[in-house]
Amino acid sequence: MHPRAPMAALGLIAVSVLLTGCFASGAGEPAGEARIKLAMMQPPRSGLSPFSDDAFKLSRWSTAETLVTLDANGDARPGLATEWRRASDTAWEFTVRPGVSFHDGSTLTAAVAANSLTRATKAVPKPRILDGVALSATVAGEKLVVATETPDPLLPQRLSSPQLSILAESAYAADGKASPVGTGSGPFRLVRLDGTTSAALDRFDGYWGEKAKAAGIDVSFVPDGTARAAAIRSGEAHIAEAVPVSQAALLDAQTISEVPMPRTNTVYLNTKSGPFADPAVRAAVRETINRGQIVSSVYENRADVAKGLLGPALPWTVQARKELTGRTAAGRANGATITLATFTDRAELPEVASIVQQQLQDAGFKVNQVVREYAHIEQDMLAGKFDAFILSRATVLDSGDPVAYLKSDFTCAGSFNIARLCDETVDAAVRKAEAADAGDQRRAAILEAEAAVLRTDAAIPMLHERVIQGDAPSVAGSVKDPRERTLVTAATHVK
């Protein structure tokens, strides 16, 4: 038996009792009339504002849609826009999909799309996808024209962000706020949000694409991971997102799925001060850390050993990455005293830190450990007050492209440069990737930039995390999306 099973199983039973009644019953309903019961990890933080991270919920429920979607490689594909072309260095022209009706009965036009994008640019706070981007949206004939102040080869991918969802004009209030209730265009119509407790969506029979197979979605927000696992075990939920590693082994293997996610567990080393200002000492850490031990003991083999900063959630990185040469030879610890820090908000990280601490001590380092809540450690982390910091970091941000991550974390002017790295070779490689056109050219430049960072040993990637999702045997067609943008679609249904 799994060593955590007895106590955790008792927790599952207790939470299962508490969950009874949280979801509307779908038992006994005829095919096409059953509703999908969904347990989600985080409640809305901004009342489902499409300009906030709550927008990703709207995308996962298939109620709000974007002009562009992304394929597995992160390349742009049609959404509410059927085609586009680059009209100039700074402007792109989009053809809006005909025959699209919003949930309030109004019709999608280029002007409606321009209104949504313009509202996003004026939102306070501004959507994260628009940080550092001056964007404007206008109409030319029947075309939507989206322009930026400086050339942006990634603009179509940028418009795939759920934070730039296109809503009916009725969604927007005079005070700048927006409500997705009854104003999206997807196969499910959002009909109710009950604060941070639940939400309800009904099938939208006027959808422009394939009609939804399920009658609707009943969402419960269940922050406790044990409770989400219990909901699958007891049948209270058809789908549960983000099942904790500790709970996955307690569920029937047929109800658990795992896919790599673009999130890397990394040790960032302070390159400006302390022992790790010496590249050879950083290389010693690279050679010391036993990644396999961490994956097997902490993540119970539900993670992937890292071979780079970018992992299998981006299949092209695995296929095209070349063997890394030109690395600094490992030096010796020589009893150097270091401070290793991490945070408690992600349950596995303190345990990872303890293992890394022991591995470094075995290699001759003297290690002091600091563990706090993220809100209480971020300022010191960014100020370079630690020699080493363990972080679980998303490597693909809102545009579906890793250049923003490489720029923020590893360039001289990077806003999230924990390692305090300033290396002209790295900066030049990142600039080249940032300027490259989307596609094979950009992907090759990204891998060159990744290699430049790895040669500095400023960051030691340890493992790539996975999305662990629970699906009851009675549900079919849910999406296991590494980017966590899609979950329930028109094809998802209860058998």
What CATH number does residue 448 fall under?
A: 3.10.105.10
Q: What percent of the chain has pLDDT over 90?
A: 82
For residue range 299-355, what is the model confidence (pLDDT) as tens digits?
Answer: 999 999 999 999 999 999 988 999 999 999 999 999 999 999 999 988 899 999 999
Q: Residue 16: its pLDDT value, please?
A: 43
Q: What is the dihedral of CA 252, 239, 14, 195, to 10 degrees?
A: 170
pLDDT in tens, 215-254: 999 999 998 989 999 999 999 999 999 898 889 989 999 9
List the 81-86 sheet strands across, edge first. 81-86, 91-96, 143-148, 135-140
Domain-ending residue, one of 179, 212, 243 = 179
The answer to whether residues 270 and 346 belong to one domain is yes
Percent of the chain with pLDDT over 70: 93
Residue 457 has pLDDT above 90, yes or no: yes
Chain centroid, CA 139 distance in Å: 32
pLDDT-wise least confident of 24-38, 158-172, 371-385, 388-402: 24-38
* CATH number (domain holding residue 29): 3.40.190.10
Q: Which of 491, 490, 487, 489 is nearest to 471 (CA)?
A: 487
The per-residue pLDDT for range 165-193, each reduced to its tens digit, is 999 999 999 999 999 999 999 999 999 99
Question: What ranges in 235-377 are assigned the alpha helix state H?
Answer: 245-248, 279-288, 291-297, 315-320, 349-362
Tell me, what DSSP letter sits at residue 422?
-
Give the pLDDT confidence of 43-100 residue by residue, as tens digits.
Answer: 998 999 999 989 999 999 999 999 999 988 888 999 999 999 999 999 999 999 999 9
Query: How far apart, in whole angstroms, are the C-alpha atoms of residue 240 and residue 232?
Result: 7
- Using left for φ > 0, alpha for ψ between -120 and 50, and beta otherwise, residue 65 falls in beta
- Could you tell me if 431 and 459 lie in one domain? yes
> What are the b/e assignments for 172-204, b being 16+ CB within 10 Å?
beeeebbbbbbbbbbbbbbeebeeeebbbbbbb
**pLDDT at residue 2, as a whole number:** 39
Query: Residue 255 above 60 pLDDT?
Result: yes
pLDDT in tens, 350-379: 999 999 999 999 999 999 999 999 989 999
Confidence (pTM)? 0.82
**Is the CB of residue 148 less than 8 Å from the CB of residue 134?**
yes
Angle at 119 between CA 117 and CA 122, to 5 degrees: 115
Residue with tokens 């500095």: 456
In the listed set 179, 203, 236, which residue is the last one of a domain according to the structure?
Answer: 179
pLDDT of residue 13: 42
The answer to whether residues 457 and 484 belong to one domain is no
Q: pLDDT category, 484, cuts 50, 70, 90? A: confident
Q: How many CA atoms lie within 13 A of 236 on its CB side?
A: 24
417 lies in the same domain as 316? yes
302 with 389, same domain?
yes
Q: pLDDT tier at 22 (50, 70, 90 boundaries)?
A: low
How far is 70 from 59, CA to CA, in rounded Å? 13
In this prediction, residue 347 carries a pLDDT of 81
| 430 in the same domain as 484 | no
Question: Domain containing 382: what range?
Answer: 260-465
Asked if 272 contacts 384 with a C-beta cutoff of 8 angstroms, the reply is yes
Task: List the structure tokens of 135.
Answer: 């964007």
| Residues 381 and 277 placed together within one structural domain of the fold | yes
> Crossing angle, helix 403-410 and helix 440-456, to 10 degrees?
20
Tokens of 8: 């955790």
| Confidence band for 149, pLDDT divided at 50, 70 and 90 | very high
User: Quick one: 275 and 336 in the same domain?
Assistant: yes
Q: Is the pLDDT of residue 24 over 60?
A: no
pLDDT at 8 over 70: no
Enter the tokens of residue 475.
């549900």
The span from the CA of 17 to the CA of 234, in Å, is 9
**354 and 243 housed in the same domain:** no
Q: How many CB atoms lie within 10 A of CB 142?
A: 11
CA-based nearest residue to 12, from 254, 247, 347: 247
Task: Please report the pLDDT score of residue 11 as a whole number.
Answer: 44
Report d(CA 34, CA 27) in Å as an integer. 8
Tell me whether residue 417 is exposed, middle or buried, using C-beta atoms within 10 angstroms of its C-beta: 0 to 12, 13 to 18, 19 or more: buried
pLDDT at 195: 92
The structural domain count of the chain equals 3
Residue 265 pLDDT > 60:
yes
Q: How confident is the model at residue 26 (pLDDT cuts 50, 70, 90)?
A: very low
When mean pLDDT is compared across 19-33, 103-117, 468-482, the lowest value belongs to 19-33
Which CATH number is 81's domain given? 3.90.76.10
Query: In the prediction, which pLDDT does 29 show?
Result: 55
Give the C-alpha separation, 422 to 201, whole Å. Answer: 49
Stretch 403-411: mean pLDDT, rounded? Answer: 93
Same domain for 460 and 368, yes or no, is yes
Neighbouring residues of 443: CB distance < 8 A, sequence distance ≥ 6: 73, 316, 317, 320
Is residue 390 helix, strand or coil?
strand
Enter the tokens of residue 431.
């600039």
User: Do both 43 and 97 map to the same domain?
Assistant: no
Q: What is the mean pLDDT of residues 379-404?
A: 91
Query: Do 443 and 302 belong together in one domain?
Result: yes
Q: pLDDT band at residue 25, thresholds of 50, 70 and 90?
A: very low
Domain endpoint, select from 124, 144, 179 = 179
Mean pLDDT of the chain, nearest integer:
92
